[in-house]
Structure 1
């Protein structure tokens, strides 16, 4: 924010407006096929280069736009022995990208009235009731705490990944014995696979059926993800991407881990063809709009997964574009890392690291676009290549935000704003202002300061459109002969519609 000093004349109390893009009931424009086809060799080069540098045997990447898988490409091999090439139907473990399915399953149970996010987890998992917390004033861990990774557990990626095969009865014993805390719950974000494994147990206990059954019936089945599931040994073995690790300058086979008690944190296996259906479904929740809500989970509920807590951090975008990009604000939502990016706006992403596999997904809800990449090498998360592809699409103009419509009320009052400026007084707003307006500045003082501002600005082109920040607020910039006018119009939240604030800042030319 620039200080309004020196060459700028302030009228009313104003912060130089920073327009926040509002969600509009206008669907994003799908990526043009011809333009995407022309850019495909560059996209291939990004992923191919990343594969070679990271010793990845096989990969599949996909781009979803307009709800459809508009680009998908298999690279390398899914099996070093048979040399079967990776295809869109090859099956990969997606590791922690499973957490998004778990989180939405929990929210669907909330929607059905079967649990609340503020409920203590021990209400549904009795083994937690005897736990010893770090302090006597520690709060009991809630369902929401587990969703947001604020349960007080230690980061457990190396240990948690290998618990995938743990039998359910052994998990019950582990919970009954109690666990160690790294801090009191709700004090800080710290990523926990254990927390999401407990959420899987919550789902099982609430529904009276295995966690995998509920995810299958609630999400996988309705979305047509018929090739996907948790029992990897039941899937066609000739379709499976075999997992490898890179050590001593050679690939070594990772053991295939069967489905177990930690499946809710990372056990799902998908094909690119199937996973694109999930990406398209999640993206379809944006923007908020009227009309039928036909998905397996309500659109408003899906959008809730992007709500993080106050434990935010600075995010530096992965990939070659990250060095030049401004830092983003990162918070963990529910199964998603949520970043406000200065170019992409709201972004949702998550990696998947697992013995034998690495993956990454990036959603750009304001653009209606999702990208993902799945690999068969241990912890080889292709986040740099995925973000670089998004940056390439943006730079080439292949992805665009839809224009935010100006509400009829905002348009009408913006017309009056132009009249106020032209006449040098607020008489055109008579009977159309909120009760605070005259209290904040008298009509006589408005006349005085408007005269000073117009003298400083000179002749202005007021034809520029207003940029809406929502249905009731907008910002505008007028280029004048001697200065630039930055303005903000703010309507009151009551009926009939009135103005609560009209703000101008005149910035003199250097």
Structure 2
């Protein structure tokens, strides 16, 4: 009997190990799917990476980072991350929580944060509500905080106020000192348009600009170049590339930057005041798919979009960056004047690109 159970344990262990082993089978077909989607959505450039074993095991650059000069994207081509910046912002905020300088239960009014409209100056709204997109509520719960998920990048960006007040530093300085330099992210920087924050990196501005994928928009059926976005803060504005995001992903896997208990908190779904699990943790979407915990964030703005997906149990990370907004557009369909549609936003398969990744490396529903 002991031999029997020992054999079962061995088979079970081998099965788990097999699940954790990356297989590049038919990545040619996967690349073809991504290229077909790129052409369908008329995205000029895609930089795509799959991370396994703390290494970039598969990379593909599709299209042109600069159409006019036919520049093919590489793993070092820089893109605007848009809302993937929120994952970095959450780390900086939680570092201050760990240091005892910020309490997530503090009311936003402590920092003079004004939210406008019906939410204005409300002591019931805490910093944790901005961090988890639960500040607004809806008509079913009297627009009270803590009851429902409603993505709001503007509210998230206001976390800069407590971050800067309690640290005594600008958000840009914290980004450089606490994340970019410790992790050796050689191609990651605050938005070029924020000249003061970008200068903190010490990078040559002209040389860095040559690495950046040119932003485009689809207007009246034509792909046209547009101006770069200008914002930088906890909600958006960081610039990076696939190779640096590999290092960032590895740091998360190794539980660097925050202590293990804080990382556990970051990747735990928020619960509403009614006891319902919501799709967001602290700066990350957190959902289960085929009995696997999936962690991700999207980024979307005119001229750029991004998707960063982690599946810890499979030791897999998927990174895809684009120089137009159509990679992540489905996640940002409007629900009402104030919010995006929470059902779409919390469904990773809403993106055809994410769906292709899940089908290839995890399996279909």
Q: TM-score, normalised by structure 2?
A: 0.77
**Residue 378 of structure 1 is aligned with which of 311, 314, 325?**
325
**Residue 181 of structure 2 is aligned with which of 199, 221, 233?**
221
CA contact (8 A) 1:79 1:241 kept: yes
The ranges of structure 1 where at least 4 consecutive aligned residues each deviate by more than 3 angstroms after the TM superposition are 26-32, 130-136
Distance 2:178 2:213 in 1: 26
1:138-157 matches, cutoff 5 A: 139-152=123-136
With over 3 angstroms needed to count, the CA separation of the structure-2 counterparts of 1:79 and 1:231, relative to structure 1, is: same
User: Which residue is equivalent to 2:280?
Assistant: 332
Give yes or no for the alignment of 1:184 onto 2:144.
yes
Q: Note the alpha carbon deviations across 1:450-476, whole angstroms, 9 max, x for none.
A: xxxxxxxxxxxxxxxxxxxxxxxxxxx
Q: How many residues align?
A: 310
Distance 1:300 1:381 in 2: 31
**Residue 110 of structure 1 is aligned with which of 76, 90, 97?**
97
CA contact (8 A) 1:356 1:378 kept: yes
User: Which residue is equivalent to 2:295?
Assistant: 348
User: Which residue is equivalent to 1:387?
Assistant: 355
CA contact (8 A) 1:359 1:375 kept: yes
Instruction: Tell me the SS of whatever aligns to 2:361.
Output: helix
Q: Note the alpha carbon deviations across 1:339-363, whole angstroms, 9 max, x for none.
A: 112x251111121111101111111
1:237-252 matches, cutoff 5 A: 237-252=209-224
User: Which residue is equivalent to 1:307?
Assistant: 268
Larger Rg, first or second structure (1 or 2)? 1
Instruction: Tell me the SS of whatever aligns to 1:302.
Output: helix
RMSD: 2.8
Q: CA deviation at 1:109?
A: 0.6
User: Which residue is equivalent to 1:90?
Assistant: 77
Q: CA deviation at 1:228?
A: 0.5
CA contact (8 A) 2:44 2:323 kept: yes
Instruction: Tell me the SS of whatever aligns to 1:265.
Output: coil
**Residue 112 of structure 2 is aligned with which of 106, 120, 126?**
126
User: Which residue is equivalent to 1:507?
Assistant: none
User: Which residue is equivalent to 2:339?
Assistant: none
With over 3 angstroms needed to count, the CA separation of the structure-2 counterparts of 1:100 and 1:134, relative to structure 1, is: closer
Q: Note the alpha carbon deviations across 1:196-255, whole angstroms, 9 max, x for none.
A: 111122211111111111122111221111210113253622211011111211112221
Q: CA deviation at 1:367?
A: 1.4
Instruction: Tell me the SS of whatever aligns to 1:221.
Output: helix
Q: CA deviation at 1:394?
A: 3.1
Give yes or no for the alignment of 1:273 onto 2:229.
no
Q: Note the alpha carbon deviations across 1:357-378, whole angstroms, 9 max, x for none.
A: 1111111111121111000112
Q: Structure 1 unaligned runs (5+)?
A: 1-25, 155-181, 286-294, 313-328, 397-510
CA contact (8 A) 1:283 1:363 kept: no
CA contact (8 A) 1:203 1:214 kept: no
Q: Structure 2 unaligned runs (5+)?
A: 1-15, 194-204, 330-350
Instruction: Tell me the SS of whatever aligns to 1:304.
Output: helix
Q: TM-score, normalised by structure 1?
A: 0.56
Distance 2:117 2:70 in 1: 52
With over 3 angstroms needed to count, the CA separation of the structure-2 counterparts of 1:28 and 1:68, relative to structure 1, is: farther
CA contact (8 A) 1:305 1:333 kept: yes
Distance 1:132 1:90 in 2: 40
With over 3 angstroms needed to count, the CA separation of the structure-2 counterparts of 1:252 and 1:57, relative to structure 1, is: same
1:57-96 matches, cutoff 5 A: 57-96=44-83
Structure ranking higher in helix proportion: 2
User: Which residue is equivalent to 1:288?
Assistant: none
Bigger Cα displacement from structure 2, 234-243 vs 363-372: 234-243
Distance 2:309 2:143 in 1: 31
With over 3 angstroms needed to count, the CA separation of the structure-2 counterparts of 1:196 and 1:379, relative to structure 1, is: farther
Distance 2:30 2:174 in 1: 37
With over 3 angstroms needed to count, the CA separation of the structure-2 counterparts of 1:259 and 1:29, relative to structure 1, is: same
Distance 2:305 2:218 in 1: 12
Distance 2:108 2:83 in 1: 21
Distance 1:389 1:345 in 2: 14
Give yes or no for the alignment of 1:361 onto 2:308.
yes
Distance 1:207 1:27 in 2: 43
Distance 2:309 2:291 in 1: 11
Distance 2:18 2:106 in 1: 37
